[in-house]
Homo-oligomer: A and B are copies of this chain.
Amino acid sequence: MAEAPGGAPLAIICGGGSFPGAVADAVAARGRRPVMFGIKGWADPAVIGRFVHHWISLGQAGRFFRLAKAENCREVVFIGTVLRPPLTALRLDWHTIKLMPRVIRFFRGGDDTLLSGVAGVAESGGLRVVGVKDVAPELFVPKGVLGRRQPSPRDYGDIDRGLKLIATLGPFDVGQAAVVAAGHVIAVEAAEGTDYMLARIAELRGLGRVTAPAGVGVLVKAPKHGQDRRFDLPSIGPRTIELVSAAGLAGLAVTAGSTMIAEAEATIAAADREKIFMVGVREGDLGANTQ
């Protein structure tokens, strides 16, 4: 079979959510054939069903390598949500068992260790791991304000504090997000994830535990310092806007070029409707933003 103009078919290992479909559409639009490998229990059949696809289980590296080879894939990208499974929940095949000492090391480390480890396994199977940004750059938040609402100077102060906090937490391999309101850090994300953290802010407000008035405060999301940016990228979408609004915040700031945006038009429309600002920032040039 002749190669497509965009190169050999691309293996896409798919976790949950809508991003796997968006990445596959972007890849196909460039004339390259996407081959979906849906992770059982995480990938959404409705999302991957629109493309050539196979189902795999986490831990079945051997089956994945055989299928990817049969499909003539030379590169692989990981996309979508995969919460860390308990080690005992994995169904292990022979290829994986040979890799067990390495796998156990991943599971003992934090997310970064796990993810870098997965890349190592893929590469040991002869596939090159590429980043989502290499194959679908249009799915990332650009620098600057998206939508109509502009952040205030106070908002930029909160953004700056949130970015510094997340950078400080880097060595602990924890959290990619925080909420800062009028200079106070009111939430730090760890295992709960961004949506859960935002729901907490709404609840704490109801209990009188967040005293910044409604319309003050910013969700700041940024990849962890030192994070392997081929995986586990922070992302936002229409649901994020709903939760930011319910939490009574002024808006959200994400690192430009490293945060994905799902359904960009719908997300921006939701932000405008809820009067939420949304800004792509680069760490290091916040001074310039506040001019």
Q: Is the CB–CB distance between B190 and A190 below 8 Å?
A: no
Q: In the assembled complex, which residues on chain B have CB atoms less than 8 Å from the CB atom of A172?
A: 161, 164-165, 168, 185
Q: Is A135 an interface residue (CB 8 A)?
A: no
Bitwise interface map of A from 150 to 175 toward B, beta carbon under 8 Å scored 1, else 0? 00000000000100110011011111
Copies of this chain in its oligomeric complex: 2
Distance, CA A168 to CA B165, complexed state (A) = 9
Instruction: Let me know if A30 is at the binding interface, CB within 8 A.
Output: no
A192 at the interface (CB under 8 A from B): yes
In the complex, what distance in Å separates the CA atom of A174 from the CA atom of B187? 9
Residue A182 CB within 8 A of the other chain = yes
Cα of A213 to Cα of B107 in the assembled complex, Å: 13
Judged by a CB distance under 8 angstroms, whether A91 is at the interface is no
**B185 adjacent to A209 (CB under 8 Å):** no
Chain A interfacial positions (CB closer than 8 Å to B): 83-87, 108-110, 161, 164-165, 168-169, 171-175, 178-179, 182-193, 196, 200, 204, 208-211, 213
Q: Cβ of B209 and Cβ of A192 under 8 Å apart?
A: yes
- Answer whether A174 and B188 are a contact pair too, CB < 8 Å, given A86-B211, A209-B83, A211-B85: yes
**CA–CA, A210 and B83, complex, Å:** 9
CA distance A1 to B172 in the complex (A): 58
User: Which B residues are in CB contact (< 8 Å) with A83?
Assistant: 208-209
> What CA separation (Å) do A192 and B209 show in the bound complex?
7
